[in-house]
Amino acid sequence: MPLHPARFDDLALRDDLALVHVAQSSLGEHDAGRETAKRCVGLVVLRNRDLVRSVIAAKVPPGAIDDVEADVWLRFSRKVYSGDEITNPVGLLLRMAVFCRADFHANRPAAEPTLGEWDDASDDPALDDIVVTAAVADLLAPLADRQRDVVWQRIIEGRSSAEVAAMMNTTAGNIDVIVHRALATMREAQP
Amino acid sequence: MSDRALELFEQYLEQRASGQHPDAAALVHEAGDQADVLAGMIAAYAATHPADVTEDQLEQMVARPELEPPRPWPELLPALRERTHTTRATLVSRLCEVLGVPGSELQVAAYVHELEAGLISPARVRPAVVSALAAVLGVPRSLLESSRGLAAEPRPASGLNFARSARHSDDGLMSLGALEPDADPRVDDLFTGGDDG
């Protein structure tokens, strides 16, 4: 564990996942610990900035890219600071970029109050299939965060209701209800 | 695969190889109707080839408010004012302008004070106020939106506290004291009407 605030050279040696763990363990250590946490998150975000900006730019006009990108930073940092387990920071950033640009088109504030429903335990979204991901994101745009995560896990990732329920700390029956309502919302949103 | 997308992707690779920091978003827009294709290529490459980061870049990034650990509005609003060297009087004046309620400075000032002192919940303000605060303070709306639900430590509230807690000169605001006009119900609704959603 580095002294706080951790030096750039020490942090730069660590991979993204290790930086997330350092950030989460540093938060409680007063101001210097918070500074370390911010540096860790900043490093992860900067390393993967091209990924985020290219995904956003595919669907968002030039004048709005910086704002959508800032929403991704905000969501990512909040997820890290929440202490939730993160197993795949790059995959999480990718999903957040896709969802934030969908929120932009749905004209919806990107960050909802709790920001606690992201799940990153899934495998990497197919990075070579970003066009399909974009189409899926458009379909999911009318949904709230929790609904989108459930639909993504249950339908896109093909997990069982029981698996998704375990990941989201709820019951399989509740997952089925969420999926049912989400599909109804998506049908209503279709032109 | 599109020649244009490939050409731009090679340009992106060359710039990175030469130590430059190409703007992936600008290249994707340059690809026009091949934007999705190029975005996919850059995303796939970037996911497996994270960028080198300099200490200066990191320092600039860490100064961004989006990377701050979440704070309730009574802490966040004064911190954002201080960061942008915005006095409370200036904030109030700009809010009145953006919200379209000119002449309601004292009423808006009272609500801003209550928000900063934790006397009213940020959840009660209309989305228009969140947007206006974000615009005046130069931060993404989502930064304020995502902190609306955070509970603040209760703080003692009084006019004395209001005056004492001002970090920048509020002379212009305080001198308006004797001239308070009738309360505008629109302002009350903006600050207590709740979230539209």
Q: Are residues B173 and B128 in the same domain?
A: yes
Binding-face residues of B in 49-108 toward A, CB within 8 A: 50-51, 53, 55, 57-58, 61-62, 64, 66-70
Asked whether the beta carbons of residue A50 and residue B46 sit closer than 8 angstroms, the reply is: yes
Q: How far apart are CA B30 and CA B25, in angstroms?
A: 9
Among B47, B57, B142, beta carbon nearest to A74: B142
Q: Are residues B33 and B108 in the same domain?
A: no
Q: Are residues B91 and B128 in the same domain?
A: yes
Q: Are residues B125 and B29 in the same domain?
A: no
The C-alpha of B187 sits at a distance from chain A's nearest C-alpha, in angstroms, of 22
**Residue B72 lies inside a defined structural domain of this protein:** yes
For chain B, the domain total comes to 2
**Residue B59 lies inside a defined structural domain of this protein:** no
Asked whether the beta carbons of residue A55 and residue B44 sit closer than 8 angstroms, the reply is: no
Q: Residue ranges of the alpha helices (H) in chain A?
A: 8-12, 16-26, 30-47, 49-57, 65-81, 89-105, 130-140, 145-151, 161-167, 172-189
- What domains can be seen in chain A, in order of their start residue? 142-191 (1.10.10.10)
Q: Are residues B113 and B45 in the same domain?
A: no
Q: Are residues B117 and B153 in the same domain?
A: yes
Among A38, A114, A131, beta carbon nearest to B62: A38
**Residue B60 lies inside a defined structural domain of this protein:** no
**Residue B96 lies inside a defined structural domain of this protein:** yes
Q: Are residues B82 and B175 in the same domain?
A: yes
Give the ipTM. Answer: 0.73
Asked whether the beta carbons of residue B142 and residue A109 sit closer than 8 angstroms, the reply is: yes
Binding-face residues of B in 11-50 toward A, CB within 8 A: 22-29, 35-40, 42-48, 50
Q: What is the pLDDT of residues A103-131, one digit of tens each?
A: 888 776 554 433 334 333 334 444 445 54
Give me the domain span that covers residue B70: 65-192
Q: Which residues of B touch A127 (CB under 8 A)?
A: 40, 43-44, 47-48
Q: How far apart are CA B5 and CA B10, in angstroms?
A: 9
**Residue B119 lies inside a defined structural domain of this protein:** yes
Q: Are residues B72 and B98 in the same domain?
A: yes
Q: Are residues B35 and B131 in the same domain?
A: no
Please name the residues in contact with B147: beta carbons below 8 A apart, sequence gap of 6 or more.
B70, B71, B72, B73, B76, B122
Q: What is the DSSP letter of B185?
A: H
Asked whether the beta carbons of residue B146 and residue A130 sit closer than 8 angstroms, the reply is: no
Among B26, B50, B64, beta carbon nearest to A73: B64
**Residue B121 lies inside a defined structural domain of this protein:** yes
**Residue B58 lies inside a defined structural domain of this protein:** no
User: Count of CB contacts below 8 A, A vs B?
Assistant: 149
Q: Are residues B14 and B106 in the same domain?
A: no
pLDDT in tens, chain B (197 residues): 457 888 999 999 999 999 888 999 999 999 998 888 888 888 888 888 899 999 999 999 999 989 988 889 999 999 999 989 999 999 999 999 999 999 999 999 999 999 999 999 999 999 999 999 999 998 888 889 888 888 765 555 444 444 444 444 444 444 444 445 578 899 999 999 876 54
Q: Are residues B112 and B21 in the same domain?
A: no
